[in-house]
Chains A and B, each alone.
Chain A
């Protein structure tokens, strides 16, 4: 028997409480003493019928004012499923409570009064459901008894609502006509609407497919607590956020990037063969590493994005407005770090979905912001992974939870290619620049790392290729998407028509620069090993990608050393006059004046040089 968590939202008097009361009553989930209490309360209030709504409004203020203020949770079970209802208020001033209820729901029921049709509020409820990533939405068209069980009216509402919902990208949308008061189509099928072919609400709740709610692909294990009964035993406790893992599998720990292997998956009842999304377990590792709360254990080949600059949608949940520049506590998985809102991009009017410019967020505002965290956090886009894409902000003074956030991705440090660079490039006649279909940030989000170009320049035989090959191997093994473009390779095929004159060398580098930028656009870490003797040519290649994404590595091996190595015998041939235009001998090499990295290779093993290079590339901000 599995568990379905669903939320309900409706405007005042749409009949939400009655509907929940009906569900509980008809599934025999209400006890006699509860019913008696409600009967006597109804009588006291002078109501002529048993007000099922009184079953659900738990707080005194709610009963007095006849409204739902806070989220209330209700429980019932049928032989097929257990259900947890998060009953949320519908007023705009309780949007944050709706967000709260929706945050853990797998299905949302949105109530619509058949007489009133699709109101602004119904749209808001649909918007919030889609924003929080609830996969299934049911529109309960209630009070059908008051519109003569009209088929036309139902389909009118259905088409109104569907028009709007299409814009939101709700995956699964179901419409059910009903009367909560009389019970039609709630638990029992209605005799009054023979034209309706669908199922009852309960039947739908019992049968809706629950797979896909949790991300089963990307293994993410935020370490929650370290269990350490004595010096010899250490286990990392937590709930698997997504994916699954088995003993013996390789894992990588963030942020240290240390690698090890799962030794065992522990539980009170004995070792487990596997831990899957949603399960609370503890993991032991083969090596003793320094792992603590807030770290995240993942697979080396499938990493989340690590970034401190975030692009997110937030809902402001505090009476106190957002204060720019305040350093809030950001709680994300089991990690806590300081963060501030660096930019407000826009606010979304939850009723019209229009974007507006604002200075600050107030209670219940929803919109898009950029945040800067004190340390990189490890995330997936909320859309892909609710567990690792969600965060809250906590006010450091009042300790109130002031915002709920859903990560859209890392902030792109440089927007897009500067227009000038595009215009300077040779262009065929009569073509217009088209933007990329799938933009780089999306590709990077999927790859879980940022793209870059690492450009190795230096004399023939300086060691560019050996270093780049070893570097690529290391990056690739870590799960990075990489591509190595090598001089000798591109001169087969793509640049096979070019020789070694100055013009041809320039054209050679122009083409590989463009090629590298295409691989870059495709999300790769592109390693280019070209002698590329001319400064201007290298500068052109650099201009094709955003600042900070192109790193020039000068493999600074002196000519004598290269000539001594002479792996391909080119220097000897050049000296004998067999090769014209040999760089360093008969053709100039313009050494970079300010390369990002300059490497010494003389007398050093490749391994050592590559290790040094990786440290320096990381210092430069490359996401390796």
Chain B
């Protein structure tokens, strides 16, 4: 597949302008904005766009990483390097700390996922920082419930989303008015697709963590998902680690983010792979497989 440069791509330029517009609107309408930083490509793109939006001034958002403790070491290394380069403030909200404080309870079973637990830590962190808005890298093309998201998405005092009762978002006149204790989620990348993201990353030369590129890694296949060897993933009785050539399409909690078999070792190859892909990027995530409305249910509670 020929990789077309995005430089003369009116569509992507429009998305870039739209995202920058949303970020500036957030900075103007809110007092204590934070940017949720997972270490994945979408949040790296968010940081990149935020730098563009406020250049030459520094990014006016505190970066918040909700850390499940189940990380790939590459993610943390990359995160710290980027934070230093941007000169941003990083605040880490720890799921382990929430567990230790008895705010949440670890799931039972052999491979507890902390994905669902993140919600409590996230909301606690927002309260702690008195954040009135959290910028997220969510995209509408990712998942059905996300397709209903607004750019400015209201959260009640319990951090909950009421998808059936959203403020209409008309033209690009965003209404960020809120009562004390309420907050907003803002999604500047709403209209980007996975393909847009990769093409833009390639064109802008944005550095990406090595996990996205093909490498050899020990994995185990479970329920159609390739889980990576790590201290957090225990083998079940009849399972065994096997080394395969893989890469990750999303980066999240190591216990539920699956790898895909791939030889794509450059951005161009990744783009070609995405173009030919027959599975969504979230297809590799066991957390979404739990029910038809898994994402909607989590989002209602206050998830990313």
Which residues of A approach B to under 8 Å, CB–CB? 1-3, 31-34, 37, 41, 58-61, 63, 69-75, 77, 81-82, 84, 96-97, 99-100, 103-104, 224-225, 227-229, 233, 237-239, 266-268, 278-280, 282, 293, 317, 329, 331-332, 334, 386-387, 390-392, 394, 399-401, 404
- Chain B interface SS verdict (over half): loop
Q: Which residues of B contact A70 (CB under 8 A)?
A: 148, 163-164, 166
- Nearest CB on B from A52, distance (A): 14
- Complex contact A239–B17 (CB within 8 A): yes
List 8 additional contacts besides A329-B177, A392-B171, A401-B169; criterion CB under 8 Å: A3-B15, A60-B296, A100-B169, A104-B171, A227-B56, A229-B57, A239-B21, A331-B175
- Complex contact A227–B167 (CB within 8 A): no
Nearest 6 CB-CB pairings of A with B = A3-B11, A58-B144, A229-B57, A280-B20, A268-B52, A399-B177
Q: Which residues of A contact B175 (CB under 8 A)?
A: 331, 392, 394, 399, 401
**Contact mask for chain B residues 272-304; partner A; CB cutoff 8 A; 1 contact, 0 none:** 000001111001000000001100100000000
- Complex contact A334–B164 (CB within 8 A): no
Given contacts A70-B164, A266-B55, whether A237 and B145 have CB atoms under 8 Å apart is no
- Complex contact B24–A82 (CB within 8 A): no
- Complex contact B17–A72 (CB within 8 A): no
- Complex contact B292–A225 (CB within 8 A): no
Q: In chain A, what residue has the closest Cβ to B175?
A: A401
- Complex contact A77–B193 (CB within 8 A): yes
26 A-B interface contacts by CB (under 8 A): A59-B164, A63-B292, A69-B164, A71-B148, A75-B141, A96-B168, A100-B170, A224-B24, A224-B28, A225-B24, A229-B56, A229-B57, A266-B55, A280-B17, A280-B18, A293-B28, A317-B168, A317-B170, A332-B173, A334-B28, A386-B171, A390-B171, A392-B173, A394-B175, A399-B178, A404-B168
Contact of B147 among A63, A73, A81, A229 (CB under 8 A): A73
- Complex contact A34–B280 (CB within 8 A): yes
Number of A-B contacts (CB under 8 A): 153
Q: Which residues of B contact A238 (CB under 8 A)?
A: 24
Tell me if B79 counts as interface (CB < 8 A to partner A). no
Chain B CB count within 10 A is highest, among A37, A58, A279, for A58
Contact-size category for B:
35 or more
- Complex contact A267–B24 (CB within 8 A): no
- Complex contact A401–B283 (CB within 8 A): no
Q: In chain A, what residue has the closest Cβ to B179?
A: A399
Tell me if B84 counts as interface (CB < 8 A to partner A). no
A401 to B152, CA, bound (A): 12
Q: Which residues of A contact B236 (CB under 8 A)?
A: none
Tell me if B53 counts as interface (CB < 8 A to partner A). yes
Tell me if B140 counts as interface (CB < 8 A to partner A). yes
Q: Which residues of A contact B168 (CB under 8 A)?
A: 96-97, 99-100, 317, 401, 404
Tell me if B51 counts as interface (CB < 8 A to partner A). yes
Tell me if B211 counts as interface (CB < 8 A to partner A). no
Tell me if B101 counts as interface (CB < 8 A to partner A). no
Q: Which residues of B contact A332 (CB under 8 A)?
A: 173
